[in-house]
Structure 1
Amino acid sequence: MKTIREQIIERIIAQLETIMGANGYHNNIGVGHVYRQESVLEQAHTPAISVWELAETRERNKYGGTIRQLTIRIEALVEVNGDKHPAEVSNELLGDIEKALIMGDMSLDEFIDDIQDIAAEVIQVPVNRKLTEILSESMSEIAHLPLNWKLAGATIDFEIRYTTEWGDPYTQ
C-alpha cells in the first residue's frame, strides 16, 4: 500500500509525461524523460523534467484529520529549436507544466483538495562555467542560460493541499 503523498507524486509524474505537441503543448517531454529528485542540469540529454519534493506542513483539522500542504518544485530543461529566443521557450515550458498539472488529467483531483502554482522562474546559471561545476559551488554571479547553448530551462513551485486521517497517511 502506498501513502497518499506517494500516489500524488506518481500522478504528477504521469501528467508531466503527457507534455507533447500531439497533446496540445509547446514542448515535447514524454514518457521516460521525467525524473524524481534528480537535477535536470546534471542530465546529459534533453528534454528532461524533475519533480522535487520540498517541504510538507501538517495541521489537524476540526474533524480529526490531518491537512497536509506539500510543496513541490518542477525543474525542466529543453532544447531551443528554430528562431525562438530561449526566454520564449522557457515561458512556454512554464505554461506547459502549469497546464499539465492544473488542467491536465483530472484524476489527480481524487487525492488533492487544491493545487496552486506559487513561484516560477527561468533557470539561471553562471555563463562562464560548465553545468557540472555549477551544482557544487555557490552561484554568486548568475545570468540566463547562454544563447549559444540553445537550451531553455524553468522551475515552477506548487503547493498541494490534501487531507488524510489523523496518524494514517495511507487513508484519506
Structure 2
Amino acid sequence: MKTIREQIIQRIMSQLETITSINGYENTIGSGHVYRQEAVIKQASPPAAAVWELEEERKRNAYGGTVRILKVRVEAIVNAPVDKHPASVSNALLGDIEKALIIADTSLDSLIDDIQDIAAEIAHFPHDKSLAGAAIDFEIKYTTEWGDPYSQGYS
C-alpha cells in the first residue's frame, strides 16, 4: 500500500513521460527519461526530467482530516534546435510541464484538492547553446485522514 503522497509523486512522474511532440507538446522528454531526486540539469544529459519533493505543510481541518500542502519541483533539460534560442526552448519547456501537470493529468484530480505553479526559472548553459533547461515549482494540496497518510480525507 502506498501513501497518498507517494501516489501523487508517481502520477506526476508518469505524466511527465507523456511530454512528447507526438502528444502535442513543443518538446520531448518521453518514457524512461523521468527521474526522482536527480540533478538532471547539472548532469546535462537530455532529454530528462526530475521530480523533487520539497517541504510539506500540514494542518488539521474541520472534518478531522489533515490538509497537506506539498511543494514539488520539476526540473527538465532538452536539446535546443540550432534554429531556436535556448531561452525560447526553455520557456516552451516550462509551458509543457505546466500543461502536462495542470491541464492534461486528470488522473491526478482524484488524489488532490488543488495544484498551482508557484515559481519558475530557466537554466542557462553559457558554454553549450545546444541545451535548454527549466525548473518549475508546484504547490499540491491534498487531504488525508488524520494520522493515516494512506487514506484520503475530506477537505
TM-score (norm 1): 0.86
- The alpha carbon displacement at 1:147 in A equals 6.2
Deviation of 1:81 after TM superposition, in Å, equals 1.1
Tell whether the 8 Å contact from 2:59 to 2:66 is kept in structure 1 after alignment.
Answer: yes
Aligned pair count? 152
Q: Please report how far the alpha carbon of residue 158 of structure 1 lies from its aligned counterpart in structure 2 after TM superposition.
A: 0.1
Mapped partners of 2:7, 2:43: distance in 1: 25
Runs of 4+ in 1 over 6 A off after TM superposition: none
Asked if 1:155 is matched to 2:155, the reply is no
Instruction: Map 1:108-127; keep pairs closer than 5 Å.
Output: 108-123=108-123
Kept in 2, the 8 Å contact 1:115–1:161? The answer is: yes
Other-structure match for 2:13: 13
Matched, 1:88 2:88: yes
Equivalent residue of 2:148, what SS?
Answer: coil
Report the alpha carbon displacement of residue 82 of structure 1 after superposing the two structures with TM: 3.0
Higher strand share: 2
Residue 98 to residue 16, structure 1, CA distance change in 2 (3 Å): same
Letter paired with 1:159: E
Query: 2:150 is matched with which residue?
Result: 170
Q: Which moved more, 1:106-115 or 1:39-48?
A: 39-48
Query: Compared with structure 1, are the counterparts of its residues 30 and 101 closer, same or farther at alpha carbon in structure 2 (3 Å cutoff)?
Result: same
The letter for the 1-side match of 2:71 is: T
In structure 2, how many angstroms separate the alpha carbons of the residues matched to 1:73 and 1:149? 24
What is the CA RMSD across the aligned residues, in angstroms?
1.1
The answer on whether the counterparts of 2:41 and 2:133 sit within 8 Å (CA) in structure 1 is no
- Provide the C-alpha distance between the structure 2 equivalents of 1:162 and 1:70, rounded to a whole number of angstroms: 8
Aligned to 1:52: 52
How far, CA to CA, are the matches of 1:43 and 1:146 in structure 2? 15
SS in 1 for 2:69: strand
Give the match's secondary structure for 2:150: coil
Give the Cα–Cα distance (whole angstroms) in 2 for the partners of residues 68 and 42 of structure 1: 30
Query: What SS does the aligned partner of 2:137 have?
Result: strand
User: Which protein has the larger Cα radius of gyration, Structure 1 or Structure 2?
Assistant: 1
Pairwise CA distance, 1:41? 2.7
Q: Deviations over 1:49-97 (max 9, x none)?
A: 0000000000000110000000000011111113100000000000000
Other structure's SS at 1:59 match: strand
Moved more, 101-110 or 40-49: 40-49
- How far apart in 1 are the matches of 2:77 and 2:128? 15
User: 1:4-59: CA deviations, max 9, x gaps?
Assistant: 00000000000000000000000010011000000003436210100000000000
Alpha carbons 2:17, 2:30 under 8 Å: kept: yes
> For residue 28 of structure 2, what is the aligned residue in structure 1?
28
